[in-house]
Structure formats: structure tokens, C-alpha cells
Structure 1
Amino acid sequence: MIKKSPLKFFLLTLILIAIDQGVKLAVHFYMAPGFAGQIKLVGDWLKLHYVLNPGMAFGMQLGYEYGKLLLSVFRLFAMVGIGYYLVHLAHRGAPNGLLWAMAMILAGAVGNVIDSTFYGVFLNNAPYGSPTPWFHGQVIDMVFIDVWEGFIPEWVPVWGGQYYSTPIFNIADSCIFIGVCLILLFQRRFFGGHTIEDGLLPISGPDATQAEVLPMSELADDEQHEHQSNDVDEPSAATDKEDELKASASPESSESVISEEQKDRD
């Protein structure tokens, strides 16, 4: 396991937060809300459209008195949890792709937390009748992909009979959406095993915990078999030496030696 520093991933988070807040403040100070200040970017389908969102991403909200406060508190805890999880993954040597995706999700969470926490005070955009401007700020949305708008049929539960259009969102929402999509698309690569390029060996390879352990009886049988093979080899070598000695001591060999000595005397 090779630990990684989470600093470069937090740097991406800070850059995305700065971009998100810069765009939101520019829209707030230099654009008129609604259709009056709408700016077309690409044809009639990609526009800048300034709206205030009192709820969650893509305009969803909790419809009771303290729903906004609960949502803001939840965002704070989620922001802290995501940051801690990012550090945890980096120290475990997780794939870089997963860490970049988590950094994007963290940037989106922090960006919307800043809106909810402070915009009600500094931009005075808390909804009318809010118990306090703190934690009741409305999120500034501006990216409008205008591909559909109209009335939803009445037979559709909850939303039936109402006029809707495609959601208007911001940079922070985009970061969360892209980060989640990356994790879903590459989850097998991120969580199924780490590559050598990321500093870890594949999890699917041989594992020491799965090694087979032979019983003591089999080990004893193997050792006994080795001793027996050694004992068989040693007597065979000894018998070879004995055969050589017997051959040298046989009568035929002694007679041949005597005959050679007589020849030498003659």
C-alpha cells in the first residue's frame, strides 16, 4: 500500500469552488433575474438564466418550515464527511480517478454550503419569513439547458398538471453530477482492484490469506519419504565399492598377478 498526499486533490476542490463562487457573484451583480436578463450562449438551448433556488440541487426543496435549515445542516455534515473520506482514500492509495471524482463532489458540496450559509446575510436573498438569514440563503443557479418545457400530464403522480422546464443549475451542481457519474461508470475499476500504476497490486491476484496449509501428517510423510530415498541411495553406493573390492580379491585376479611376476623374473 502506497499512501498518497490529498493536497493536490484538495487543490482541485479549491479551484472549482473559486470558479463556482466567481460565476455566482458575477451573475448576481451583473445579470437581471428571470427571462429579462437571460443570455443565449449556444443557440436556443444553452443559456444563462439567473434564478434563486431555495432548496436542493436542480430546484428540489423540502416543503416545511425548517426544511431549509435541516438541509443546510445536512450539507455541512456531508461536506465534512466527504472531506474526511477523501483523505482516507488517499492514505489507502486509492486510484487517482476516484480521488479526482471525490474532489469534484466535495467542491460542489462546499460551493452550495457557502450559498446556504452566507448568502442570506451578505446578499440578503433569504426567503421572506425565514426564522434567520443564517443557513437560509438561496443558491444562485444560472446554467439553463433549454431542451423541454411544458405541462406535465395530470395522471403523473406529485408533479401532474404543473408547468415545468428542464432544470437550471450551477457549477457546484455540475461538479457533484460529474463526480457521481464518474464513480458509477468506473466503479469496477475504482473498487474492484488497484493497478500497478496507482501503486498497488491487483486485488484479484494471488492472496497470501488464501494459501493452502498442509496438515502435519502430510509434512511428516514427505520428510520420511525423503529419508528413505537417501537411505536407498547410500547402500547402493556402498555395494558398488564392495563389488570392486571383491573383484580385485578374486582368484582369477590373483593368478593373473602371479603370472605377471614370473614373466618379470624370466
Structure 2
Amino acid sequence: MTDAGSPTLTAERGPSPRTVAVLGAVAVLAVALDQLVKELSTNGLNTGEPVRILGGLVYLSLWRNSGAAWSVGAGHTWVFPLIAIAVCGWIGWMALRLRSTPWAVALGLVLGGTLGNLLDRLFRDPGPFRGHVVDMISVFGPDAQYFPVFNVADSCLFAGVVLAVLLELTGRPRTAPAVRNSSAT
């Protein structure tokens, strides 16, 4: 019980419509850009014929990856869609409490990257839950000489995770902090 004149701490419950909209917009933009670049790559690049750009800093090389980075787990392609579905579910659960715009951006990037690659796993050859992800960006050399070939979805995932780690390390809350309420009820 509080005194009639003493302040109380309250916290807003539920998501902020603005942060949920930011999360959704970032995710939609990430998926759209990823799918556009994959479409352009599958129509304009040939496997085994890398295109050198930026003086050789970046090569565009068409790859179809059944695994993760460096084709790790290629024999277990069906696992990746299940992990992606779990990540999407966790982000949906987080969105129910989300009140931070920076966290909305981070989670939107992770969601967009996850969905971009999940679409490949579900709808590309050789079939549902076994589909190969289209990758096309190779850095420092052609054909994954120094670093795995990746795509826009992978870049979004990486950027979202790095942002989330930075937000966590700097103590940025995902939900609204408690607010002092000086009125007694």
C-alpha cells in the first residue's frame, strides 16, 4: 500500500504500435531487397563465372548453398528451416513486449534475414525444407577463397545480431522502463 502523496512506479504494458511498425517495415524491406537481389542474380549471373567489382574487393558469384556458411551442415538442410521458424516465433513473442525503436530495428533485420533465407529453403530446388539458399557476394576473392559467399539476408542477419549485441551491452531495454507516477490511485 502506498501513501496518498507518494509516487509509484508503473510500467507500460504491451508493445508500442510504432516499434512494431518499425520492426515490420525493416523486416519487409530486408526480405524485398534480398529477394530482388536473388532474382537478379539467378537471372544475370552464371555459376562458375564470377564478376569482379570494386577493383576485386567484391566478386558476384552465383552459388546455391544447401548448408550454412562454408556449406556447414549441407547434409542436414531440413534443420535450417526449423531453426528459422523458431527464430521467427521468438521475434514474434518479443514483439508482444517491444517498446524500443533501436531494438525494433535490430529484430527487424534479424527477422528479415531469417525470412529471406527461409523462403529459399521452402520454395527453391530441390524442394520444401531442402531448398538451397542463393548466395552471390564474395569478398576479397572469387568463390569463397577467403570468406563465405553470402547474400543480402545474411548481411541483414549479421547487422541485426551485431546491433542487438551492442544494445544489450549498453543496457538498452527492449521494453519501456518503469515510469514514476506521482498521482495516487
Task: State the TM-score bracket (shorter-chain normalisation).
Answer: 0.7 to 0.9
Partners of 1:185 and 1:99 lie apart in 2 by: 14
1:166 partner letter = F
Question: Aligned to 1:24, which of 21, 38, 49?
Answer: 38
Partners of 1:88 and 1:108 lie apart in 2 by: 20
Answer 1 or 2: which has greater helix percent.
1
2:67, 2:77 within 8 Å by CA — same for their partners in 1? yes
2:7 aligned partner: none
Partners of 2:170 and 2:178 lie apart in 1 by: 13
Gap regions ≥5 residues in structure 2: 1-10, 181-185
1:49 aligned partner: 61
Q: Equivalent residue of 2:83, what SS? A: helix
2:22, 2:101 within 8 Å by CA — same for their partners in 1? no
Tell me by how many angstroms 1:76 deviates: 1.9
1:33 aligned partner: 47
Which one has the largest radius of gyration?
1
Question: Aligned to 1:182, which of 159, 163, 167?
Answer: 163
Task: Summarize the alignment of residues 91-106 of structure 1 with structure 2, pairs less than 5 Å apart.
Answer: 93=99, 95-106=100-111
Change (3 A) 1:75 1:28: same
TM-score (norm 2): 0.78
Task: Summarize the alignment of residues 72-83 of structure 1 with structure 2, pairs less than 5 Å apart.
Answer: 72-83=81-92
Tell me by how many angstroms 1:96 deviates: 1.5
Gap regions ≥5 residues in structure 1: 121-125, 127-132, 150-162, 207-266
* Percent sequence identity over aligned pairs: 22
1:27 partner letter = S
Determine if the alignment matches structure 1 residue 110 to structure 2 residue 115. yes
2:26 partner letter = L
Aligned length: 166
Partners of 1:164 and 1:39 lie apart in 2 by: 14
Partners of 2:71 and 2:149 lie apart in 1 by: 11
Partners of 2:26 and 2:152 lie apart in 1 by: 14
Q: Equivalent residue of 1:25, what SS? A: helix
2:70 aligned partner: 59
